[in-house]
Amino acid sequence: FPSDKVSVIFVLGGPGSGKGTQCAKLVKEYHFVHLSAGDLLRAEQAREGSEFGELIKRYIKEGLIVPQEVTIALLQQAITENFKNGKTKFLVDGFPRKMDQAITFEKQIAPSMFTLFFECPEQVMLKRLLERGRTSGRTDDNIESIKKRFKTFLETSMPVVEYFEKQSKVIKVRCDDPVETVYKHVQAGIEDKFS
């Protein structure tokens, strides 16, 4: 696909900040394709015969960022398939969370229009993740993994947000409000960009 034929919005925010929840709402209203990097990695990990299964499993449990080659290949494949079906607008959720990924993706795949960033206090995210962990079956929804995810987010992923902020390409939304209130702020931020 030609990079100028696709629109990409990055969706970032700490673990449990509500990226997936808000993306699901945006998909309904604006007909984006929602690509969660974490979901793609979990699917690849579960795929029979995947050469990366063990590696992904280990990185996710440790809250570490899987090497960019793996994640970017999965995203590229997903965008290619959707593009064949006429889809051109993508919400890329939980990516890029390391500087190298941001640079490689924008060079190799497509530049981002902007980044939607969910700001959230750690206690709020912690409470949500522990609650979800009771039923999610995710190997990283436990207190040890959550602490590691928070550390990685601050040290490795926040620099990406700051990088896009310097380019005035970040829409910040606070996430510790009810889902509908957060969504109202998301809509306001987005309409602004499209008007």
Residues of the shown chain interacting with ligand UP5 in the complex, contacts defined by CB under 6 A: 13, 15-21, 36-38, 41, 59-60, 63-66, 71, 94-95, 97, 128, 132, 140, 149, 175, 178-179, 182
34 lies in the site for Mg ion, by CB under 5 A: no
* Nearest to ligand UP5 of 80, 181 (CB atom): 181
d(CA 14, CA 19): 9
Half-sphere exposure of 40 (CA within 13 A, CB side): 20
Nearest to 173 by CA among 156, 152, 192: 192
63 carries a ligand binding annotation:
no
Least Å distance, CB 164 to ligand UP5, is 15
- Taking the complex as a whole, the smallest distance from the CB of residue 2 to ligand UP5 amounts, in Å, to 24
Instruction: Give me the sheet containing 114-119, strands edge to edge.
Output: 33-36, 89-93, 7-13, 114-119, 170-174
Work out whether 20 is an interface residue with Mg ion (CB under 5 A): yes
- Report the distance separating Cα 141 and Cα 186, nearest Å: 26
Nearer to ligand UP5, 59 or 117 (CB): 59
Residue closer to ligand UP5 by CB (options 73, 86) is 73
Burial of 95 (0-12, 13-18, 19+ CB in 10 A): buried
Is there a cis peptide before residue 15, judged by omega within 30 degrees of 0?
Answer: no
- How many chain residues are in contact with Mg ion, going by CB under 5 A? 2
Least distance from C-beta 170 to ligand UP5, angstroms?
A: 16
For position 53 contacting Mg ion by CB under 5 A, the verdict is: no
Determine whether 164 is exposed, middle or buried from the number of CB atoms within 10 Å of its CB (0-12, 13-18, 19+): buried
CA 68, 4, 104 angle in degrees (round to 5)?
Answer: 15
- Smallest gap from Cβ 188 to ligand UP5, in A, equals 16
Please, which residue, 2 or 8, has the CB nearer to ligand UP5?
A: 8
Of the CA atoms within 13 Å of residue 178, those in its CB half-sphere come to 2
Complex with ligand UP5: residue 116 or 175, whichever CB lies closer: 175
Residue ranges at the known binding site for a ribonucleoside 5'-phosphate: 42, 64-66, 94-97, 101, 138, 149
What residue ranges bind Mg ion (CB under 5 A)? Answer: 19-20
